[in-house]
């Protein structure tokens, strides 16, 4: 393995929960009375994953490539992830694995975990075993524990192709 064969990236995102928006996490709509505020669909999980991928490939951050302009208002984060995957591939990297955590007091996310894994692995073009999604609560502490926001973290490992 030569220098730069493997690259690690980390991503983090947080959005407040608001009424009148669907809750979308990992590209999956989740039954809940509130959704995540944001310029796009507010999918904190995909935003964290995108930032991890961009960081590992030394491509900057999500806001650099998808600024809060009219062009990206309301855009599906799945579309953003597809473009990020293309950018990472153009740099010559492929995903080895992604490990993600969603921090949410409510709703219970376990019933949606497999759908989120399938959605993300489909966009990334990898096997579902390469994507890990876990959920944890805020234990009643801070904006997560109060149920005011949902946050996500992602770590990825990229490998240089060929």
- 63 token code pair: 């806001």
Residue 64 scores a pLDDT above 70: yes
Q: Look at residue 59 in the predicted model and tell me its pLDDT.
A: 97
Residues of the domain holding 122 = 6-160
Answer yes or no: is 115 within a domain. yes
Residue 137 within a domain = yes
Neighbour-count burial of 77, counting CB atoms closer than 10 A to its CB (0-12 exposed, 13-18 middle, 19+ buried): buried
- Mean pLDDT across 8-32: 97
Is a pLDDT exceeding 50 seen at residue 154? yes
Lowest average pLDDT, out of 49-58, 63-72, 131-140, goes to 63-72
pTM: 0.94
To 5 degrees, how large is the angle CA 153–CA 55–CA 125?
A: 75
Domain count, the chain: 1
54 in any annotated domain: yes
- Give the per-residue pLDDT at 73: 82
Asked whether residue 1 is assigned to any structural domain, the reply reads no
First-residue to last-residue Cα distance in the chain: 11
Give the per-residue pLDDT at 4.
61
Q: Over the Cα atoms of the chain, what is R_g?
A: 15
Q: For residue 162, what pLDDT is reported?
A: 74
**pLDDT, tens only, 72-111:** 787 899 999 999 999 999 999 999 999 999 999 999 999 9
Q: What is the CATH classification number for the domain harbouring 43?
A: 3.30.1330.50
Can you give the pLDDT at residue 70? 80
Between residues 136 and 67, the one the model is more confident about: 136
DSSP character string of 78-128? HHHHHHHHHHHHHTTEEEEEEEEEEE-SSS--GGGHHHHHHHHHHHHTS-G
Mean pLDDT of 134-161: 96
Average pLDDT in the chain: 94
């Amino acid at each position: 393995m030569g220098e730069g064969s493997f690259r690690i990236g980390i991503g983090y995102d947080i959005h407040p929960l608001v009424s009148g928006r669907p809750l979308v996490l990992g590209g999956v709509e989740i039954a809940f009375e509130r959704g995540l505020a944001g310029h796009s669909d507010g999918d904190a999980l995909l935003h964290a994953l995108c930032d991890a991928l961009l960081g590992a490939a030394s491509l900057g951050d999500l806001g650099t490539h998808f600024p809060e302009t009219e062009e990206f208002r309301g855009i599906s984060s799945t579309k953003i992830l597809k473009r990020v995957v293309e950018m990472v591939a153009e740099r010559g990297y492929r995903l080895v694995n992604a490990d993600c955590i969603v921090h949410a007091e409510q709703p219970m996310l376990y019933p949606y975990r497999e759908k989120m894994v399938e959605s993300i692995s489909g966009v990334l073009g990898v096997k579902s075993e390469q994507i890990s999604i876990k959920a944890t609560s805020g234990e009643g502490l801070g904006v997560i524990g109060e149920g005011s926001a949902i946050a996500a973290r992602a770590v990825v490992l990229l490998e240089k192709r060929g």
